[in-house]
Amino acid sequence: MASGKNVIVKVEDLHKAYGSEEVLRGISMEVTEGEVVVLVGPSGTGKSTLLRCINQLTMPDAGRVWVNNVELTDPSTDIDKARQHIGMVFQSFNLFNHLNALDNVSLGLIHVLGMDKKTARDKALMELDRVGLKNKAENYPGQLSGGQKQRVAIARSLAMEPIVMLFDEPTSALDPELIGEVLVVMKDLAVEGMTMICVTHEIGFARDVSKRIVFMEHGDIIEEGTPAKMLTNPDLPRTKQFLGKISELH
Protein backbone atom coordinates (compact mmCIF):
# COMPACT_ATOMS: atom_id res chain seq x y z
CA MET A 1 0.00 0.00 0.00
CA ALA A 2 1.27 3.45 -0.91
CA SER A 3 2.51 5.22 2.19
CA GLY A 4 1.61 8.74 3.20
CA LYS A 5 -1.79 8.63 1.55
CA ASN A 6 -4.93 9.38 3.52
CA VAL A 7 -6.98 6.42 4.62
CA ILE A 8 -10.50 6.99 3.24
CA VAL A 9 -12.23 3.82 4.40
CA LYS A 10 -11.23 1.86 7.45
CA VAL A 11 -13.07 -1.26 8.56
CA GLU A 12 -12.18 -2.95 11.85
CA ASP A 13 -13.24 -6.45 12.91
CA LEU A 14 -16.65 -6.29 11.24
CA HIS A 15 -19.15 -9.00 12.13
CA LYS A 16 -22.59 -9.63 10.68
CA ALA A 17 -24.89 -12.62 10.98
CA TYR A 18 -28.34 -13.32 9.62
CA GLY A 19 -29.78 -15.70 12.19
CA SER A 20 -27.23 -18.46 12.62
CA GLU A 21 -25.65 -17.66 9.23
CA GLU A 22 -22.42 -15.73 9.81
CA VAL A 23 -21.91 -13.55 6.77
CA LEU A 24 -18.97 -11.48 7.98
CA ARG A 25 -16.50 -12.97 10.46
CA GLY A 26 -14.31 -10.14 11.57
CA ILE A 27 -13.35 -8.28 8.41
CA SER A 28 -10.67 -5.59 8.67
CA MET A 29 -9.41 -3.52 5.77
CA GLU A 30 -8.18 -0.08 4.80
CA VAL A 31 -8.62 1.76 1.53
CA THR A 32 -6.49 4.80 0.82
CA GLU A 33 -7.25 7.86 -1.26
CA GLY A 34 -7.45 7.12 -4.97
CA GLU A 35 -7.16 3.39 -4.46
CA VAL A 36 -9.32 1.01 -6.47
CA VAL A 37 -10.01 -2.22 -4.62
CA VAL A 38 -11.82 -5.15 -6.20
CA LEU A 39 -13.61 -7.65 -3.96
CA VAL A 40 -14.03 -11.10 -5.43
CA GLY A 41 -15.26 -14.40 -4.10
CA PRO A 42 -18.03 -16.96 -4.48
CA SER A 43 -21.59 -15.70 -4.07
CA GLY A 44 -22.88 -15.61 -0.52
CA THR A 45 -19.49 -14.83 0.99
CA GLY A 46 -20.47 -11.43 2.31
CA LYS A 47 -19.00 -9.09 -0.33
CA SER A 48 -22.23 -7.15 -0.82
CA THR A 49 -22.94 -7.22 2.91
CA LEU A 50 -19.50 -5.74 3.52
CA LEU A 51 -20.24 -2.87 1.11
CA ARG A 52 -23.61 -2.23 2.74
CA CYS A 53 -22.04 -2.30 6.19
CA ILE A 54 -19.58 0.37 5.08
CA ASN A 55 -22.33 2.91 4.40
CA GLN A 56 -24.53 1.41 7.13
CA LEU A 57 -27.41 0.46 4.84
CA THR A 58 -26.93 -2.78 6.75
CA MET A 59 -26.04 -2.44 10.42
CA PRO A 60 -23.10 -4.64 11.40
CA ASP A 61 -23.46 -6.67 14.60
CA ALA A 62 -20.00 -5.70 15.80
CA GLY A 63 -16.93 -3.86 14.58
CA ARG A 64 -16.26 -0.29 13.52
CA VAL A 65 -16.24 1.63 10.26
CA TRP A 66 -14.62 4.99 9.48
CA VAL A 67 -15.05 6.95 6.29
CA ASN A 68 -12.87 10.01 5.92
CA ASN A 69 -12.00 9.78 9.63
CA VAL A 70 -15.63 9.92 10.74
CA GLU A 71 -16.72 6.85 12.64
CA LEU A 72 -20.01 5.75 11.09
CA THR A 73 -20.58 3.06 13.70
CA ASP A 74 -20.58 5.73 16.42
CA PRO A 75 -24.27 6.18 17.33
CA SER A 76 -23.82 9.94 17.64
CA THR A 77 -22.72 10.25 13.98
CA ASP A 78 -25.34 11.73 11.64
CA ILE A 79 -25.42 8.80 9.26
CA ASP A 80 -27.63 10.54 6.65
CA LYS A 81 -25.08 13.32 6.40
CA ALA A 82 -22.22 10.85 6.12
CA ARG A 83 -23.95 8.89 3.36
CA GLN A 84 -24.28 11.99 1.20
CA HIS A 85 -20.66 11.56 0.22
CA ILE A 86 -20.47 7.78 -0.03
CA GLY A 87 -21.62 6.86 -3.51
CA MET A 88 -23.24 3.49 -4.06
CA VAL A 89 -24.07 1.70 -7.29
CA PHE A 90 -26.33 -1.34 -7.18
CA GLN A 91 -26.55 -4.49 -9.25
CA SER A 92 -30.21 -3.77 -10.05
CA PHE A 93 -29.58 -0.04 -10.73
CA ASN A 94 -32.40 1.10 -8.43
CA LEU A 95 -33.12 4.23 -10.42
CA PHE A 96 -36.16 6.06 -9.11
CA ASN A 97 -38.77 4.66 -11.47
CA HIS A 98 -41.10 7.65 -11.44
CA LEU A 99 -38.44 10.19 -12.36
CA ASN A 100 -36.63 10.84 -15.63
CA ALA A 101 -32.84 10.57 -15.82
CA LEU A 102 -32.32 14.25 -15.07
CA ASP A 103 -34.56 14.21 -11.99
CA ASN A 104 -32.94 11.00 -10.79
CA VAL A 105 -29.63 12.83 -10.70
CA SER A 106 -30.90 16.19 -9.42
CA LEU A 107 -33.26 14.95 -6.69
CA GLY A 108 -30.49 14.47 -4.14
CA LEU A 109 -28.90 17.79 -5.06
CA ILE A 110 -32.17 19.60 -4.35
CA HIS A 111 -33.46 17.74 -1.30
CA VAL A 112 -30.25 16.56 0.33
CA LEU A 113 -27.72 19.27 -0.55
CA GLY A 114 -30.31 22.05 -0.70
CA MET A 115 -29.33 23.35 -4.14
CA ASP A 116 -31.79 25.53 -6.00
CA LYS A 117 -33.53 23.84 -8.92
CA LYS A 118 -31.68 25.68 -11.66
CA THR A 119 -28.22 24.97 -10.28
CA ALA A 120 -29.17 21.36 -9.59
CA ARG A 121 -30.44 20.94 -13.14
CA ASP A 122 -27.23 22.30 -14.64
CA LYS A 123 -25.11 20.11 -12.40
CA ALA A 124 -27.24 17.04 -13.20
CA LEU A 125 -26.88 17.68 -16.94
CA MET A 126 -23.13 17.95 -16.48
CA GLU A 127 -23.02 14.62 -14.64
CA LEU A 128 -25.16 12.95 -17.31
CA ASP A 129 -22.80 14.34 -19.92
CA ARG A 130 -19.89 12.83 -18.00
CA VAL A 131 -21.41 9.35 -18.43
CA GLY A 132 -22.36 10.11 -22.05
CA LEU A 133 -26.12 10.40 -21.52
CA LYS A 134 -26.90 14.09 -21.80
CA ASN A 135 -29.23 13.30 -24.69
CA LYS A 136 -31.24 10.88 -22.50
CA ALA A 137 -31.95 13.43 -19.75
CA GLU A 138 -35.71 13.39 -20.36
CA ASN A 139 -35.98 9.60 -20.59
CA TYR A 140 -37.54 7.58 -17.82
CA PRO A 141 -35.75 4.49 -16.48
CA GLY A 142 -38.24 2.27 -18.31
CA GLN A 143 -37.08 3.84 -21.57
CA LEU A 144 -33.38 3.16 -21.00
CA SER A 145 -31.27 0.06 -21.63
CA GLY A 146 -29.63 -1.66 -18.68
CA GLY A 147 -26.26 -0.12 -19.44
CA GLN A 148 -27.79 3.35 -19.71
CA LYS A 149 -29.66 2.85 -16.43
CA GLN A 150 -26.45 1.93 -14.67
CA ARG A 151 -24.66 4.96 -16.10
CA VAL A 152 -27.47 7.21 -14.86
CA ALA A 153 -27.15 5.52 -11.46
CA ILE A 154 -23.42 6.29 -11.48
CA ALA A 155 -24.15 9.90 -12.45
CA ARG A 156 -26.66 10.12 -9.59
CA SER A 157 -23.94 9.10 -7.13
CA LEU A 158 -21.26 11.29 -8.71
CA ALA A 159 -23.47 14.37 -8.54
CA MET A 160 -23.26 14.18 -4.73
CA GLU A 161 -19.46 14.52 -5.06
CA PRO A 162 -18.59 11.37 -3.17
CA ILE A 163 -15.27 10.80 -1.48
CA VAL A 164 -15.57 7.09 -2.16
CA MET A 165 -17.71 5.02 -4.53
CA LEU A 166 -19.01 1.56 -3.65
CA PHE A 167 -19.94 -0.66 -6.60
CA ASP A 168 -22.05 -3.72 -5.83
CA GLU A 169 -21.80 -6.01 -8.87
CA PRO A 170 -22.55 -3.12 -11.23
CA THR A 171 -22.44 -5.23 -14.40
CA SER A 172 -23.91 -8.53 -13.21
CA ALA A 173 -27.45 -7.72 -14.34
CA LEU A 174 -26.39 -6.50 -17.77
CA ASP A 175 -26.48 -8.17 -21.16
CA PRO A 176 -22.89 -8.96 -22.20
CA GLU A 177 -22.79 -6.31 -24.92
CA LEU A 178 -23.80 -3.58 -22.44
CA ILE A 179 -21.13 -4.34 -19.84
CA GLY A 180 -18.41 -2.45 -21.72
CA GLU A 181 -20.08 0.96 -21.58
CA VAL A 182 -20.38 0.74 -17.79
CA LEU A 183 -16.81 -0.46 -17.35
CA VAL A 184 -15.55 2.45 -19.47
CA VAL A 185 -17.25 4.91 -17.12
CA MET A 186 -15.78 3.11 -14.10
CA LYS A 187 -12.32 3.12 -15.65
CA ASP A 188 -12.53 6.86 -16.34
CA LEU A 189 -13.47 7.40 -12.72
CA ALA A 190 -10.50 5.40 -11.54
CA VAL A 191 -8.17 7.37 -13.80
CA GLU A 192 -9.54 10.62 -12.34
CA GLY A 193 -8.43 9.36 -8.94
CA MET A 194 -11.74 8.30 -7.40
CA THR A 195 -11.44 5.98 -4.42
CA MET A 196 -13.45 2.88 -5.33
CA ILE A 197 -14.43 -0.42 -3.75
CA CYS A 198 -15.92 -2.72 -6.37
CA VAL A 199 -17.56 -6.08 -5.96
CA THR A 200 -17.20 -7.50 -9.46
CA HIS A 201 -16.11 -10.55 -11.33
CA GLU A 202 -14.89 -8.51 -14.29
CA ILE A 203 -11.33 -9.78 -14.15
CA GLY A 204 -10.24 -7.50 -16.99
CA PHE A 205 -11.30 -4.50 -14.95
CA ALA A 206 -9.55 -5.89 -11.86
CA ARG A 207 -6.33 -6.52 -13.83
CA ASP A 208 -6.21 -3.19 -15.68
CA VAL A 209 -7.69 -0.77 -13.18
CA SER A 210 -7.51 -2.01 -9.62
CA LYS A 211 -4.56 -1.59 -7.30
CA ARG A 212 -5.58 -4.47 -5.09
CA ILE A 213 -7.70 -7.59 -5.34
CA VAL A 214 -9.28 -8.90 -2.16
CA PHE A 215 -10.44 -12.51 -2.23
CA MET A 216 -13.24 -13.29 0.23
CA GLU A 217 -14.81 -16.59 1.14
CA HIS A 218 -17.20 -17.58 3.96
CA GLY A 219 -17.13 -14.12 5.48
CA ASP A 220 -13.34 -13.91 5.72
CA ILE A 221 -10.65 -12.27 3.68
CA ILE A 222 -8.64 -15.25 2.41
CA GLU A 223 -5.93 -13.41 0.55
CA GLU A 224 -5.26 -10.00 -0.93
CA GLY A 225 -2.61 -8.44 -3.10
CA THR A 226 -1.83 -6.62 -6.31
CA PRO A 227 -3.62 -7.88 -9.43
CA ALA A 228 -0.29 -9.04 -10.84
CA LYS A 229 0.37 -11.25 -7.87
CA MET A 230 -3.20 -12.41 -7.28
CA LEU A 231 -3.86 -13.31 -10.91
CA THR A 232 -0.58 -15.01 -11.66
CA ASN A 233 1.02 -16.20 -8.48
CA PRO A 234 -1.19 -16.11 -5.39
CA ASP A 235 0.00 -17.67 -2.13
CA LEU A 236 -2.96 -19.96 -1.64
CA PRO A 237 -4.12 -22.73 -3.99
CA ARG A 238 -7.77 -21.78 -3.27
CA THR A 239 -7.17 -18.24 -4.54
CA LYS A 240 -5.49 -19.58 -7.65
CA GLN A 241 -8.35 -22.01 -8.25
CA PHE A 242 -11.09 -19.38 -7.88
CA LEU A 243 -9.43 -16.59 -9.84
CA GLY A 244 -8.38 -19.05 -12.50
CA LYS A 245 -11.98 -20.13 -12.94
CA ILE A 246 -13.43 -16.65 -13.29
CA SER A 247 -10.59 -15.62 -15.60
CA GLU A 248 -11.67 -18.35 -17.99
CA LEU A 249 -15.23 -17.03 -17.92
CA HIS A 250 -14.53 -13.33 -18.38
Partner 1 sequence: MTFLEYIRIAAQPLAEGLLITFQVSAVCLVIGLLIGFPAALVRVYGPKWLKWLVTGFIEVLRGTPVLVQLFLIYYGLPQFGITLSAFTSAYIALGMNSGAYQAEYIRGAIQAISSGQMMAARSIGMTRFQAIRHIIIPQAVRFAIPAWSNEAVAMVKITSIVYLIAVPEMLYVAKILLSKYYNPFQTYITVGVIYLAVIGVMTLLLNFVERKLAIPGFETSKRGA
For residue 139, count CB atoms less than 10 angstroms from its CB and return exposed for 0-12, middle for 13-18, buried for 19 or more.
middle
Residue 110 or 222 having the CB closest to partner 1: 110
CB of 1 to partner 1, least distance (A): 27
Cα–Cα distance for residue pair 173/153, rounded to 1 Å: 14
CB of 3 to partner 1, least distance (A): 31
Residue 31 or 155 having the CB closest to partner 1: 155
Residue 160 or 185 having the CB closest to partner 1: 160
Residue 165 or 214 having the CB closest to partner 1: 165
CA atoms within 13 A on the CB side of 233: 2
CB of 35 to partner 1, least distance (A): 21
Which stretches of the chain are DSSP H helices? Answer: 47-54, 79-83, 101-111, 117-130, 146-159, 176-191, 203-209, 227-232, 237-249
CB of 156 to partner 1, least distance (A): 7
Supply φ then ψ for residue 245, to 5 degrees.
Answer: -65, -50
CB of 142 to partner 1, least distance (A): 3
Q: Using CB under 8 A as the criterion, which residues of the chain lie in contact with partner 1 when the complex forms?
A: 55, 57, 80-88, 90, 92-98, 107-108, 111-112, 139-144, 149, 153, 156-157, 160
Helix (H) or strand (E) holding 201: none
Contact criterion met (CB below 8 Å) for 105 and 124 = yes
Which has the closest alpha carbon to 59: 74, 39, 73, 45? 73
Residue 46 or 234 having the CB closest to partner 1: 46
Residue 107 or 246 having the CB closest to partner 1: 107
Cα–Cα distance for residue pair 151/186, rounded to 1 Å: 9
CB of 138 to partner 1, least distance (A): 9
